[in-house]
Structure 1
Amino acid sequence: MTIIPTQQRDKVSSYKNLRSLYEKNITVNSISETMDTCHLNDDADTIKSMMVIKDYDVLGVEDNGIVIGYVVGNELKDGSCKEYYRSFSPTELVSESTPLIDTLYIFKEIERIFVLEGNRITKVVTRADLQKPPIRMLLFGLISLLEMHLYRIINDYFPEDTWKEYLGSNRIKFAEELFSLRKSRNEGIQLSDCLQICDKRDIILNEDPLRELLGIESKSKGKSFFKKLESLRNNLAHAQNLNTNYSWDEMFLLIEQTEKLLGKCEKI
C-alpha cells in the first residue's frame, strides 16, 4: 500500500475544494437572461420585427398567463405566433441550480436551454451567453487548477530539478531568469515555480510512466491537447472569443478532456 504524505493529501484536498467551488457553486443563473414573452395569438410578423430591434433569438409564448413554449425569430412569417411556436422539450429545460460546468455539456447537443424557477420557465441561455465572464472564470479556474496539479506532480516525480533533462536550454534559461527576477523581489519560490504550461507539458509527455498514469494515450495526442488548452487560456487572458480558433464542439471536447485529466491528477 502506498502511503501518501499528509502534506500532499492536504494539498490535493484543497485543490478538490477549489475545484468544487468552480464546479458546484457557480450555476446556470449566472449567465441566463430573463425571457420576454409574447402571446399565442400575437401577429408573427410584428413579433419578428420587435425581436430584430431587441436582438432576440427566441421569445417565450404565453397562453392564459402560462409560458407554454417559444418562437424562434428567423422562423416567423405571416400569421399568428400560434402557427410557429415550439413546445419545450425536456432536454431544453434545466433547474436554476444546475452547475455551470454541466450547462456547458448540455450545449453539446442543443443550441439553447430554458431555466426553471420552481415550476415556471423564466430565463433562457444561448450559446452566445457562453462568452460571459462567469464561463471565463470557470474555464480559467479549471486550467489554473490543472497547472497547479502538474506543478505538484512534477515536484514529486522530479526531485532536485531533475526535470531539466526534458527541456531545451532556452526553456531552462527562461525559467532561471524568471526565477532570479522573482527571487530579487524576495518571493519564496523554487525554480519549478517558474515553469510555463508548455514546459510542464514537455516534462509530463516525455516521462512515459507518468504520461500513462495521467491517461494520455500518446505524445502526439498530448501535444494536441495542450496546444488547444494553451490557446484557450490565451483567449481567456486577452478577452478574445472563446472559440476563435476552434468550433464549439471542439471546445466542449477540450473541457471534457481537461476535467478527465484533473481527475487523474487528483488520484496521483
Structure 2
Amino acid sequence: MPFNPVQQRDHVSTYKSLRSLFEKNITVNSISEVLATCNVGDPAPQIKDQMASKDYDVIGVEENGIVIGYVLRDDLREGSCKEYTRSFSPSDLVSDSTPLLQTLFIFKNTERLFVIEGNRITKVVTLADLQKPPVRMLLFGVISIVEMHFYQIIRDYFKEDSWKKHLSEKRIQQAEELFLQRKARNEGIELSDCLQLCDKRDIVLNEQALRELLGIESKSKGKDFFKKLENLRNNLAHSQDLNTQNSWNEMFSLIEQTESLLEKCENI
C-alpha cells in the first residue's frame, strides 16, 4: 500500500527536528571533565601517588603554562614526568562543540579523548564518562525516535488495523486492553498507539516490502538487531551499565546501525 508523500514529509520534518535536538545540541562538553595537569619537570613517583589518591588514570603535562601532552599513571616510574610524556595525536583530540553522538563513534578507536576549547586542551573524556546521564538521554532519545518512525510507518502502510495479521492474539489483546484504559481517560488515540516496540518490530519485519525499504536483509537479522536495541533500552531505563553484557565496540556498532535505520526511515 503506497504512502502519502505529503503526510510522510511532514512527519519526517518533525522527527528530524527532534533528532537534531538530541544529536547536535548535546555536545562532548556535557560529559567531559577538567583535565588535571602536572609540570613536565615534576617527579614521576610523586605525580603517580597523587594520581592514585585521586583515582586519575591520565593527566595533562604542562610546559610554560601550555598542555603539551599527557601521562598515564601506569607508565610512571623513576625520573621526571618528561620521560613519560605522550604527545597528542590528531585522533586524540576533539573540539568542545563536537556532538555527543559523533563522540561515541570516535570512541570505537580510542579509550580517551582530549577536548580543545579555543586553542587549548582543557578537558578529557574516558570510557567511564559514557555512563553519564547525557549519554543515556541521547541513546534513549535515538531509540524513541526509531519507535516513533515505526509507529508512523505502520499507520501509513496498514489501513483499518490490517497490521493485526502480524501479531498473536495475546499481543492484540494486550494492545486492546491498553487502548480501553487510555480511552477511559479521554485520550484521543487509535489502537496502533497502544503497540509496544516489540509489536512494531514484528509488524515491520513480517512485511517484506517494509524490510526492503528499511534495508533490513532478513527477518532473522532484523530480530537480532532489535533484540540488542531493546536490551540497550532496558539497560538505559533501569540505570544498568551500558556495556554489561557486550563490549563498548558492540554498543557503538549498534548505535551506528540505528543511525543507518533512521536515515532509511527518513527517506521512505
TM-score range, shorter chain: over 0.9
Q: Return the offset for 1:20.
A: 0.9
In structure 2, distance between residues paired with 1:183 and 1:158: 22
* Deviation string, structure 1 residues 69-128 (Cα, Å, up to 9, x no partner): 000111111221111110001111111111111100000001100011111000000011
1:165 equivalent in alignment to 2:165: yes
User: TM-score normalized by structure 2?
Assistant: 0.97
**Matching residue of 2:65:** 65
* Deviation string, structure 1 residues 209-260 (Cα, Å, up to 9, x no partner): 1101100011111001000000000111111111112110110000000000
**Matching residue of 1:102:** 102
In structure 1, distance between residues paired with 2:245 and 2:159: 37
In structure 2, distance between residues paired with 1:50 and 1:93: 25
Which residue identity does 1:78 align to in structure 2? E
In structure 1, distance between residues paired with 2:229 and 2:97: 28
**Matching residue of 2:27:** 27
SS of match in other structure, 1:123: strand
1:88 equivalent in alignment to 2:100: no
SS of match in other structure, 1:87: coil
In structure 2, distance between residues paired with 1:53 and 1:66: 24
Which residue identity does 1:107 align to in structure 2? F
In structure 1, distance between residues paired with 2:124 and 2:140: 24
**Matching residue of 1:141:** 141
Q: Does the 8 Å CA contact 2:3/2:156 hold for their aligned counterparts?
A: no
SS of match in other structure, 1:183: helix
SS of match in other structure, 2:23: helix
SS of match in other structure, 2:67: strand
In structure 2, distance between residues paired with 1:11 and 1:208: 23
Runs of 4+ in 1 over 4 A off after TM superposition: 2-5
In structure 1, distance between residues paired with 2:260 and 2:222: 13
* Deviation string, structure 1 residues 142-199 (Cα, Å, up to 9, x no partner): 0000000000001111111111111111111111111111111111111111111111
Note the residue ranges of structure 2 that are not aligned, 5 or more in a row: none
1:42 equivalent in alignment to 2:42: yes
SS of match in other structure, 1:107: helix
In structure 1, distance between residues paired with 2:181 and 2:35: 52
**Matching residue of 2:206:** 206
Q: Return the offset for 1:3.
A: 8.3
In structure 2, distance between residues paired with 1:4 and 1:81: 65
SS of match in other structure, 2:161: helix
SS of match in other structure, 1:116: strand
**Matching residue of 1:255:** 255
Aligned residues: 267
Which residue identity does 1:49 align to in structure 2? D
1:150 equivalent in alignment to 2:150: yes
**Matching residue of 1:227:** 227
**Matching residue of 2:130:** 130
Distance 1:3 1:193, change over 3 A: closer
User: TM-score normalized by structure 1?
Assistant: 0.97
Q: Does the 8 Å CA contact 2:3/2:157 hold for their aligned counterparts?
A: no
Q: Return the offset for 1:6.
A: 3.3
Q: Return the offset for 1:46.
A: 1.1
Q: Return the offset for 1:265.
A: 0.5
Matches within 5 A, 1:174-193: 174-193=174-193
Q: Return the offset for 1:49.
A: 1.1
* Deviation string, structure 1 residues 21-45 (Cα, Å, up to 9, x no partner): 1111111111100001001111111
Note the residue ranges of structure 1 that are not aligned, 5 or more in a row: none
**Matching residue of 2:246:** 246
Q: Does the 8 Å CA contact 2:44/2:81 hold for their aligned counterparts?
A: yes
CA RMSD of aligned residues (A): 1.1
In structure 2, distance between residues paired with 1:50 and 1:3: 63
* Deviation string, structure 1 residues 45-65 (Cα, Å, up to 9, x no partner): 111111111111100000111
SS of match in other structure, 1:225: helix
Which residue identity does 1:103 align to in structure 2? T
